[in-house]
Amino acid sequence: MSAQAIKTSAQERNFLKKLLDIYELLPQQSTGAAIIGRIYSELLSLIIKELTCKAGSLFIIDSEDGSPVFIAVKGGDESLLGKKLEKGKGIVGKVAITGKNYLSKDASKDPAWMGEVSSNKGFSTSDILACPINYGDRIIGVVEVLNKKAGMFNRQDMRTLSGLSRHIAVFMKHLIDESEQKKFIDMQAKLYELSKMLNSNLDTRAVVRGAMEAIVSLVKAEVGSLLLVDKEKKELFFEVALGDSEKTLKEIRLKFGQGIAGWVAQQKQPIVVNDTAQDERFYKKADEKTGFVTKNILCVPVMSSGEVVGVMQALNKKEGLFTKQDLKLLTSLSDQVAIALENASLHEELKRTFVEVVESLAEAIEKRDPYTGGHTKRVVKYSLMIADEIHLEAEEKDRLKMGALLHDVGKIGIDDSVLRKPAKLDETEFEKMKAHPSIGADILGKIPQIKNIIPGILHHHEWYNGKGYPDGLSGDGLPRIARIISIADTYDAMTTDRPYRKGLTHEVAIAELKRFSGTQFDPQFVGAFIRAFEKQKLVPAHP
Ligand SMILES: [Fe+2]
Ligand SMILES: [Fe+2]
C-alpha cells in the first residue's frame, strides 16, 4: 500500500468498507474487461454519493502516452467511455499533469473547461471538482465530480475527495494490474499461436497471411500488409494485403525509396508515422486507388542475412496512436516472419530442383522412344487442364503433375526391340510393353519422398470399368490422378502420328473419349477435359 495512507477519517473508513463491498465483485480468477468496467462504474457511483453531486467521470492515465482515458461516466455522456483526452488539455488534463486538485465554481467561465468533451444534451455543467489519483509518486488516474446537489463544491469537498482518492488509488492500481495481466496473458496466447503457425508446414501463402492477421490484431490496427522485394527490379510488391483492397493493391509496385514502405526498405529502418497527411514520404496513390484512408502507419523491414526481403506494415491504430511498444513488437515479429519466408524459399527451391531433375529424367527416357517426342510434356499439359477445370487442390495438383511427368518412366525397362518397333506391336510384344507401369512404380517406389505419386504411374493404364491393367481397379477405387492421366495420355496417343498410322484429328479423338466415357474413362473427367478445351479454345497439338 502507498505511504500516503495515513490518517483515516470516519467518512473514509465508511467509504473503505463500501469499497471492499465492490471488491467482492471481483471474481477469483479470470478478470474480464466487462467486470472491471462494472467495478469502475460502481466505484464512481460511490464517489458521487459521498460528494452528494449529480455526475462524475473517472479517468485512467495511459501509461504509454500520459493521456487521460474515460473509464467510468455517470450522469453525463456515457458514449465517452474508453475515449481519450488530449494530454494536458482541459481541467482533467491539467490535473493529470500537475497532480493538483482543481475546483471550478462556474465551469462555463473557466477557460480550462472543455465543455464539448464532457457535456451532453440535457446536462449542463455548473461546478466541478477534480482530484488526481496518485499511487506512490505516479499519477495513475483522475476523478472528476460535477454539479453538487445543494450549493457548490467547496474546500471541504476538495479535502473529502482528496482523502477518498488515496483509497481509490490502491483499489485502481489493483484493477490496472489485473487488466494488464489479462492483456499480457492474451498477448502471450496470440504470440504462441503466431509462432506455432510460422513454424508449421502449411503453404507459405497461408502462413504469411495468418501471420499478418495475428500481427494486426496484436498491434490493434485496422489492416496490415506484407510487401516482398523483387530483387532484380528493386521494387516492392504486395504479397498479402488484408482488408477489401487486396486485388487493387496487388497491381501496385513501389520502388525502393517510394512511399513509407519504400523508405523503410531503402533505409532498413522501422518507422512509426502517426500522421500520414503530414508526411511527404507517404504514397497517396495507393489510398486514391483503393478508397482506403490511411491515418497512421507502423512499418518495419523484414531482414534476412542483413538484406531486406520485405516490409511489414500495420495501418490505422484502432484507438489512439501507434506507440514505440507497438513498433518494438512488430520488429521482433518481423524476424520470425523472415525465418518463415526463408524456410519457404528454401523449400520452394528444393521443390523446383526436384521437378527439374524429374523433367530431365523424363526427357532422357523419352529420347529412347523417337516416335513419341514431346508426349510427356503434352500429357502434363492436358492433365493440368483437367485439374484446373475441376479445381483440384494445390497439393494433389502437384502430385498429378509429377505423376504425369513420370507416368511412362517404366519404359526404361522395356527392350528396344519392343519400344522402338516401327510397327504395331504383336500380342507378345504388347504383353511386354504392359509391364511399364509396374516397372516405373518399382523404380520410384524406392524413393520415400515421392511415394504418393506412385498410384498415378502404376494405374495410368487401368480402365474405369476395371478392364485395364495391371490391377483391374475400377470406379472410385482407381486413384483420381491415374484416372486423369489416363485421359490425357490416351488423347495424346490418339492425336500423335505413328510410323504405321496418322494421328487422329482433335474432333475424332474427342469423339473417341466420349465413346469410351464410362467404360475406359471416368465420365466426369472426360467432361472436364472437353470443357477445358472449349474454354481455352486451344489448338490441339496435332489436329
Ligand atoms: Fe503408358
Ligand atoms: Fe504415355
**What integer pLDDT is reported at residue 434 of this predicted model?**
95
- Give the environment of ion ligand 1: residues with CB less than 5 A: 408
Q: Positive or negative CA dihedral for 185, 191, 194, 199?
A: negative
- How far is the centre of ligand 1, averaged over its atoms, from the C-alpha of 485 (Å)? 9
Q: Give tens-digit pLDDT for 455-480.
A: 999 999 999 999 999 999 999 999 99
Other beta carbons within 10 Å of 315: 24
- How far is the centre of ligand 1, averaged over its atoms, from the C-alpha of 493 (Å)? 10
In order, the DSSP letters of 41-86 are HHHHHHHHHHTTEEEEEEEEE-TTT--EEEEEEESS-GGGTT-BPP
- How far is the centre of ligand 1, averaged over its atoms, from the C-alpha of 541 (Å)? 19
Q: Which listed ligand is nearest to 414 at the C-alpha?
A: 1
Q: Which listed ligand is nearest to 410 at the C-alpha?
A: 1
**What integer pLDDT is reported at residue 371 of this predicted model?**
63
C-alpha 382/C-alpha 89 separation (Å) is 71
Could you give all domains of the chain from N- to C-terminal order, each with its CATH number? 10-178 (3.30.450.40), 204-343 (3.30.450.40), 367-536 (1.10.3210.10)
> Exposed/middle/buried for 29, CB within 10 Å: 0-12, 13-18, 19+?
exposed
CB 47 within 8 A of CB 24: no
- How far is the centre of ligand 1, averaged over its atoms, from the C-alpha of 461 (Å)? 6
- How far is the centre of ligand 1, averaged over its atoms, from the C-alpha of 299 (Å)? 54
Taking alpha carbons only, the member of 291, 297, 292 closest to residue 263 is 297
- How far is the centre of ligand 1, averaged over its atoms, from the C-alpha of 436 (Å)? 7
- How far is the centre of ligand 1, averaged over its atoms, from the C-alpha of 29 (Å)? 67
- How far is the centre of ligand 2, averaged over its atoms, from the C-alpha of 482 (Å)? 12
C-alpha 456/C-alpha 440 separation (Å) is 10
Q: Which listed ligand is nearest to 440 at the C-alpha?
A: 1
- How far is the centre of ligand 1, averaged over its atoms, from the C-alpha of 386 (Å)? 18
- How far is the centre of ligand 2, averaged over its atoms, from the C-alpha of 457 (Å)? 10
Predicted model pTM: 0.53
C-alpha 474/C-alpha 528 separation (Å) is 19
- How far is the centre of ligand 2, averaged over its atoms, from the C-alpha of 513 (Å)? 16
- How far is the centre of ligand 2, averaged over its atoms, from the C-alpha of 496 (Å)? 11
Q: What is the DSSP letter of 502?
A: P
- How far is the centre of ligand 1, averaged over its atoms, from the C-alpha of 448 (Å)? 22
C-alpha 380/C-alpha 406 separation (Å) is 9
Could you identify the residue written with the cell 504514397?
A: 283
354: number of CA atoms within 13 Å, CB side?
A: 14
In order, the DSSP letters of 100-125 are --EEES-GGG-TT--HHHH--TT---
**What integer pLDDT is reported at residue 543 of this predicted model?**
42
Could you identify the residue written with the cell 474427342?
A: 510
Q: Which listed ligand is nearest to 462 at the C-alpha?
A: 1
- How far is the centre of ligand 2, averaged over its atoms, from the C-alpha of 489 (Å)? 5
Please, what are the averages of pLDDT over each run of 10 residues along the chain (543 residues)?
A: 55 78 62 71 90 92 84 84 85 92 88 66 82 90 92 91 87 79 72 74 75 86 92 90 85 90 94 90 87 91 91 90 86 84 80 83 77 84 96 92 92 88 90 95 86 94 96 95 97 90 93 97 97 77 48
Q: Which listed ligand is nearest to 489 at the C-alpha?
A: 2
**What integer pLDDT is reported at residue 473 of this predicted model?**
96
Q: Residue 470: is the preceding peptide bond cis (ω within 30°)?
A: yes
Q: Which listed ligand is nearest to 488 at the C-alpha?
A: 2
Mean pLDDT of the chain: 86
- How far is the centre of ligand 1, averaged over its atoms, from the C-alpha of 497 (Å)? 16
Q: Give tens-digit pLDDT for 251-289.
A: 889 999 999 999 999 999 999 998 888 888 898 888 888
Q: Which listed ligand is nearest to 493 at the C-alpha?
A: 2
- How far is the centre of ligand 1, averaged over its atoms, from the C-alpha of 460 (Å)? 7
Sheet of 138-148, strands arranged across: 68-74, 53-61, 138-148, 128-135, 102-104
- How far is the centre of ligand 1, averaged over its atoms, from the C-alpha of 480 (Å)? 16
- How far is the centre of ligand 2, averaged over its atoms, from the C-alpha of 64 (Å)? 68
- How far is the centre of ligand 1, averaged over its atoms, from the C-alpha of 350 (Å)? 28
Other beta carbons within 10 Å of 497: 11
- How far is the centre of ligand 1, averaged over its atoms, from the C-alpha of 300 (Å)? 53
